[in-house]
Chains A and B, each alone.
Chain A
Amino acid sequence: AQKITQTQPGMFVQEKEAVTLDCTYDTSDPSYGLFWYKQPSSGEMIFLIYQGSYDQQNATEGRYSLNFQKARKSANLVISASQLGDSAMYFCAMSAMDSNYQLIWGAGTKLIIKP
C-alpha cells in the first residue's frame, strides 16, 4: 500500500531563514510523482512543485526546491528566504499507477513564520 509520512506537525521559523519540511513515502510502483501543496488558512490548495520518480535532478520552482533522495524514499521541500506569507499548512502527496493516479496525502505540516 502506498503511504506518505510527514513527521513534523508544526514548525516555527524566523523570517528570511530557510526551512526544510520532511516527507517520506512508500510505494512499490517504479513510476510515481511526488507533489507539494500549500494550504493557507483561507482553504485553497495551491500546487507548489513536482518531482517525478525518473527525474535525475531535483526540482526547483522559484524559492521552492525539492530534495529528492530516491534510495531513502524521501522528498523534502526546501523553502529559501522564508516570508511571512509562507505561513500555511504544507502537504506532501504522491500519485502512482498502483493507486489509479489518485493523490495519496500526508497529514501535513503547519508552518509559522515569525517576524
Chain B
Amino acid sequence: DAGVTQSPTHLIKTRGQQVTLRCSPISGHKSVSWYQQVLGQGPQFIFQYYEKEERGRGNFPDRFSARQFPNYSSELNVNALLLGDSALYLCASSRDQMFHQPQHFGDGTRLSIL
C-alpha cells in the first residue's frame, strides 16, 4: 500500500504570496494532521481533521487554514506568507482519532520564503 504522499516536495515563494500544500493519506485512514517543523526543532501541531471535520487547531494565526475532502485527502493553505513561515510542513494520517493510533507521515513539503 502507498504511504502518505505530499505535494509539492519543495516550494519557493515570496513574502505576501499564498500557498497550497496537498496530502493524500494512507488508504483506509480517515484522520489527517498537519505539522510545521522549523529547522532544529520538533514539529508543531497546526490542524487535525477527522471524517472531514476539523477536530483540532494549534496555536497558528488565521492565515493558516485547511480542509479535508470526501476521499480524505487534505489541503493546507497559508495566506500572506511571512519569512517565518519557512519550514518543513508534514502531513500525517492515522486510521482514526484515538490515542493508541500511530500517525504515519509523508516526506513533507519544504517551503522557503524569500
Please give the residue numbers on chain A whose beta carbons come within 8 Å of chain B beta carbons, in ascending order: 31-33, 35, 37, 42-47, 50, 52, 91, 95-97, 99-108
- Shortest distance from the beta carbon of B87 to any chain A beta carbon, whole Å: 11
Residues of chain B within 8 A (CB-CB) of A42 are: 107
Residues of chain B within 8 A (CB-CB) of A32 are: 99
Residues of chain A within 8 A (CB-CB) of B42 are: 91, 105-108
Closest B residue to A51 using CB positions: B100
Q: Could you tell me if A44 and B98 are in contact, using CB atoms closer than 8 angstroms?
A: no
- Shortest distance from the beta carbon of A59 to any chain B beta carbon, whole Å: 11
Closest A residue to B9 using CB positions: A43
Q: Of B55, B88, B100, which one neighbours A100 at CB under 8 angstroms?
A: B55
Q: Of B43, B48, B56, B98, which one neighbours A105 at CB under 8 angstroms?
A: B43
CA distance A71 to B33 in the complex (A): 30
Q: Could you tell me if A102 and B102 are in contact, using CB atoms closer than 8 angstroms?
A: no
Interface residue count for B (Cβ, 8 Å)? Answer: 28
Residues of chain A within 8 A (CB-CB) of B56 are: 99-102
Excluding A43-B88, A102-B56, 7 further A-B contacts by CB distance (< 8 Å) are: A35-B102, A37-B105, A45-B108, A52-B99, A100-B55, A100-B56, A101-B56
CA distance A99 to B45 in the complex (A): 11
Q: Could you tell me if B107 and A31 are in contact, using CB atoms closer than 8 angstroms?
A: no
Closest B residue to A99 using CB positions: B56
CA distance A32 to B101 in the complex (A): 10
- Shortest distance from the beta carbon of B56 to any chain A beta carbon, whole Å: 4
- Known A-B contacts A50-B100, A50-B102; A103 and B43 likewise in contact (beta carbons under 8 Å): yes
Residues of chain A within 8 A (CB-CB) of B28 are: none
- Known A-B contacts A91-B42, A102-B56; A33 and B99 likewise in contact (beta carbons under 8 Å): yes
